[in-house]
Chains A and B, each alone.
Chain A
């Protein structure tokens, strides 16, 4: 699909959920309802089950999935990985799961590692409903149990300095262009298809983008709802995260879950059944690993 190997040389393939197609294959497979009668579906049922997807197709593509096949392609859907936490939502900072007191994370920013190396549809509900609740309850209990900690003399200076440097910036580069170039290179080389050569190229490009980022300009100097400043701030963080993602993916010489390498297509449990940890120290990335806690379910290869 990446190189136009999809339908008619395009970068997409079709997903066909038309009732006649679903019914044809359900009959071939002998699929049945719970009461044993043959399974069949209708356009109304498909619409009721996939209202948002169908609305997206109708709105953005002018394609009605009830009567036409949907063109589909991969996209970034969710950020697996994140701030490591334990099941209480407490942030842990090293290989030994040492808790940093008073720091909690939950949701897409967090990594409680409940999904293994993949994140399937609807699994974010676990992050939200279960671990969001526990992180909230535990954070509230912690806040009630401790007094305010003494702050350093000038706790905001680093952030204020950075914001002021953005506000005063007057370079030739545009945040919009640097961000788009970052998206392109990450999609192309650190997305669905990953190889050593591609990821090295991505890391080189990210280095160039970081350099270009030093020469951006922020025209909005205001202090009220300054979204241009926010975009610049976010891009700086995203460039760091992109580099961490590419570096840890390059180091992991196997395929597992959402991490699929063309040059190492097999899963390698003896060497790689472990979590990657990454530290950014003085602009340099340091990688570390911690073991996977295997409990009720033995990990095994996912086959289709």
Chain B
């Protein structure tokens, strides 16, 4: 089938202002949008720029707006979106070039929630593992799936309005450690979440949940963090 790809273009060294360019190409309905972008770049216009790496929804590099919704280009097929496809960069982060946005503010927010395992207690007597029950591991399984693609944070109206808001992805990461029975920094993370730009800026719009390519129930996870902050209970 013939598809039309309308792509947001902006080259900082060449353009004063962004514009859209349309490309027509042959595609199968099982082609990924990433395949189409690669074809345009490889055969029609080498200057088209976008991030990509693993190409199967694991690395989180190619989140972008496809027909107005945040998706991974590698997990969206032509048959999911039809033959008229508009591709634009994520909203709320500065465009560096074409579909590439500046991810620094996103990762700055991520770093604020102590996105690593904290346990300063001595090792167990046998010096080996800190055991965790299957149930305790399951408590935060959902939020371990995050690939930091930023589809959620850049779909959030609260984040668009205020880039200081940590955003859903950072709170998902906080959730992953707050509810990990082996981690000891839950109180500190919840204190951070209590800051002006923490969970209070979530207004349960659910855009993040809709946008997540890993199908994480993000709004629910944010709700659980809020609840733990109020009750002090982590189960």
Contact = CB atoms under 8 A, between A and B. Distances in A.
Contacts of B45: 219
Contact of A228 (B12, B41, B43): B41
Contact of A224 (B12, B30, B56, B77): B12
Tell me which of A52, A218, A220 has the highest count of chain B C-beta atoms within 10 A of its own C-beta.
Answer: A220
Given A60-B77, A176-B38, A176-B41, A220 B57 contact: no
A61 B47 CA distance: 31
B122 interface: no
Contact of B47 (A174, A177, A220): A220
A217 B77 CA distance: 30
A64 interface: no
Tell me which of A56, A177, A217, A222 has the highest count of chain B C-beta atoms within 10 A of its own C-beta.
Answer: A222
Given A52-B58, A174-B42, A176-B38, A227 B14 contact: no
A228 B75 CA distance: 23
Interface string A88-114: 000000000000000000000000000
A162 to B, nearest CB: 18
A223 B57 CA distance: 29
B96 A175 contact: no
A20 interface: no
A227 B37 CA distance: 13
B97 A225 contact: yes
B13 interface: yes
Nearest to B11: A222
B46 interface: yes
Given A56-B56, A175-B42, A177-B42, A227 B50 contact: yes
Contacts of A223: 13
Contacts of B75: 59
A55 interface: yes
B30 A60 contact: yes
A219 B49 CA distance: 12
A219 B46 contact: yes
B46 A222 contact: no
Nearest to A51: B145
Nearest to B56: A56
B46 A228 contact: yes
Interface string A207-231: 0000000000111101111111000
A146 B49 CA distance: 40
Given A224-B97, A225-B97, A225-B100, A175 B14 contact: no
Contacts of A176: 38-39, 41-43
Interface string B68-112: 000000010100000000000000000011001000000000000
Interface in A50-73: 52, 55-56, 59-61
Contacts of A177: 42
Nearest to A179: B42
Given A52-B58, A59-B57, A60-B77, A224 B96 contact: yes
Interface string B4-48: 000000011110000000000000001010000011011101110
Tell me which of A52, A61, A225 has the highest count of chain B C-beta atoms within 10 A of its own C-beta.
Answer: A225
B231 to A, nearest CB: 29
Interface string A156-182: 000000000000000000111100000
Interface of A: 52, 55-56, 59-61, 174-177, 217-220, 222-228
Interface of B: 11-14, 30, 32, 38-39, 41-43, 45-47, 49-51, 56-58, 75, 77, 96-97, 100
Closest 3 CB pairs of A and B: A176-B42, A220-B47, A228-B46
